[in-house]
């Protein structure tokens, strides 16, 4: 974090581009809950990121409530952490423009997520999808956040945020104005893979409905998806090195380990030598046991949009009170008139 001496702050967000999925929960939200007791935390629903690919407006509103409700259902306390939706705090977009003029084209060209999401037809992708990681840097740095809990897929974007912060500090001779934010990635669940393809990450917008477990899935749906999960025909090994090259098996064992709090080695001590016919029902039972209380709370909260709206409004006010003065200072630093 170089010589930065400001408060330790956490910022993270999830896109309302679909239902909250197990990867988002294990890779991100579970960490949000722990961190709220250690740092000043800002958790946003990143609706401006979501529209980098087409979103039906009515669904976008619903999904924004759904993601906010999922934060709370998983244990984020809006009286401790600041919970809000990104578009309600204009400072994110203002700083993103200035960062568009700091970031270099070559840096953005290297971002692999754009290549993955744009696919073969990148000429037809939105400009927003291309500059997405610059907006992400603004989301973080507008709060001068020092720590960012994310899944492994976001590592490259976090490096870019550090580069942008460093270049801004250097170009404007503004020593340590922005911290160089640290990613918080490590831990079980940092990379949960699709149930249909062990080489692709679990994603809420995966077109295959059996690829992904959603927080809103009921116990029958969870059991069915796990039963249908792709696997090989070998029994489970009794040690982690036996999972090498067995992507799907490694993913299921990883999910079991992340939810049970046991290392992979202990899971394999228990299930090594057994086939998926025995392991899958045990996994389904564990997933249902861990997710059921969260889904019940999620349903309760979603039935009360008035409360969710109030949480988001209060959060946006608190967030703007921190972000607006940072943007005002940035404008002065770059030479804009007040």
Interaction between residue 230 and ligand AQP (CB under 6 A)? no
Query: First and final CA of the chain: distance in angstroms?
Result: 30
Among 75, 90, 108, 153, binds ligand AQP (CB under 6 A): 153
Q: How many DSSP H helices and E strands does the chain contain? A: 14, 5
Interaction between residue 188 and ligand AQP (CB under 6 A)? no
| 23-42 binders of ligand AQP (CB under 6 A) | 23-24, 26-28
Interaction between residue 59 and ligand AQP (CB under 6 A)? no
Interaction between residue 63 and ligand AQP (CB under 6 A)? no
Q: Which residue minimizes CB distance to ligand AQP?
A: 27
Q: Is 204 a catalytic residue?
A: yes
Among 59, 61, 167, 191, binds ligand AQP (CB under 6 A): 191
Stretch that binds ligand AQP, among 74-82, 162-170, 184-192, 327-335 (CB under 6 A): 184-192
Q: How far is the CB of 18 from ligand AQP (least distance, A)?
A: 6
Q: How far is the CB of 49 from ligand AQP (least distance, A)?
A: 6
From the list 115, 120, 144, 204, the catalytic residue is 204
The beta-carbon contacts of 268-271 under 8 Å, at least 24 apart in sequence, are 268/236, 268/237, 268/238, 268/239, 268/240, 268/242, 268/243, 269/238, 271/236
Interaction between residue 203 and ligand AQP (CB under 6 A)? yes
Whether residue 237 contacts residue 272, with contact meaning beta carbons closer than 8 Å, is answered with yes
Interaction between residue 201 and ligand AQP (CB under 6 A)? yes
Q: What gap in Å lies between CA 311 and CA 163, rounded to an integer?
A: 33
The alpha carbons of the chain give a radius of gyration, in whole angstroms, of: 21
Interaction between residue 205 and ligand AQP (CB under 6 A)? yes
Q: Among residues 24 and 295, whose Cβ is nearest to ligand AQP?
A: 24
Whether residue 24 contacts residue 13, with contact meaning beta carbons closer than 8 Å, is answered with no
Three-class SS state of 290: helix
Q: How far is the CB of 23 from ligand AQP (least distance, A)?
A: 3
C-alpha distance from residue 130 to each of 50, 102, 105, 159 (Å)? 13, 15, 10, 16
Q: Give the bridge partners for 172, in sequence order.
A: none
Three-class SS state of 9: strand
From the list 31, 144, 201, 225, the catalytic residue is 201
Three-class SS state of 84: strand
Q: What gap in Å lies between CA 133 and CA 111, rounded to an integer?
A: 8
Among 14, 88, 102, 111, binds ligand AQP (CB under 6 A): 14
Q: How far is the CB of 198 from ligand AQP (least distance, A)?
A: 12
Candidates 133, 31, 129, 130; CA nearest to 75 is: 31
DSSP 8-class letter at 309 = H
Q: Among residues 92 and 201, whose Cβ is nearest to ligand AQP?
A: 201
Q: Is 117 a catalytic residue?
A: yes
Interaction between residue 21 and ligand AQP (CB under 6 A)? yes
Structure tokens at 78: 């809006």
The contact set with ligand AQP (CB under 6 A) reads: 14-15, 17-18, 21, 23-24, 26-28, 46, 150-151, 153-154, 190-192, 201-205
Active site residues: 117, 201, 204
């Amino acid at each position: 974090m170089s010589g930065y001496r400001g408060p330790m702050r956490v910022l993270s967000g999830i896109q309302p581009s679909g239902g909250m999925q197990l990867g988002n929960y294990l890779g991100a939200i579970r960490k949000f809950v722990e961190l709220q007791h250690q740092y000043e935390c800002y958790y946003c629903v990143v609706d401006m990121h979501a529209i980098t690919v087409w979103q039906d407006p009515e669904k976008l509103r619903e999904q924004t409530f759904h993601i906010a409700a999922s934060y709370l259902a998983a244990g984020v306390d809006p009286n401790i952490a600041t919970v809000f939706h990104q578009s309600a705090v204009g400072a994110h977009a203002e700083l993103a423009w200035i960062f568009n003029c700091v970031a270099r084209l070559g840096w953005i060209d290297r971002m692999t997520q754009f290549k993955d999401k744009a696919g073969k037809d990148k000429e037809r992708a939105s400009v927003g999808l291309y500059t997405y990681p610059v907006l992400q840097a603004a989301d973080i740095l507008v709060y001068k956040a020092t720590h960012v809990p994310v899944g492994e897929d976001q590592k490259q974007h976090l490096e870019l945020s550090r580069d942008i912060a460093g270049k801004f500090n250097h170009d404007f001779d503004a020593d340590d104005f922005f911290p160089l934010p640290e990613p918080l990635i490590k831990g079980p669940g940092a990379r949960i893979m699709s149930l249909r393809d062990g080489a692709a990450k679990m994603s809420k917008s995966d077109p295959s409905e059996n690829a992904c477990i959603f927080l809103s899935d009921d116990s029958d749906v969870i059991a069915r998806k796990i039963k249908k999960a792709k696997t090989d025909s070998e029994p489970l090994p009794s040690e982690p090195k036996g999972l090498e090259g067995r992507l799907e098996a490694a993913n299921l064992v990883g999910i079991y380990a992340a939810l049970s709090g046991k290392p992979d080695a202990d899971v394999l001590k228990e299930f090594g030598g057994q086939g998926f016919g025995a392991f899958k029902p045990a996994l389904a039972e564990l997933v249902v046991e861990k997710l059921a209380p969260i889904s019940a709370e999620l349903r309760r909260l979603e039935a009360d949009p008035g409360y969710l709206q109030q949480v988001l409004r209060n959060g946006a006010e608190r967030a703007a009170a921190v972000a607006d003065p940072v943007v005002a200072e940035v404008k002065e630093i770059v030479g804009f008139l007040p």
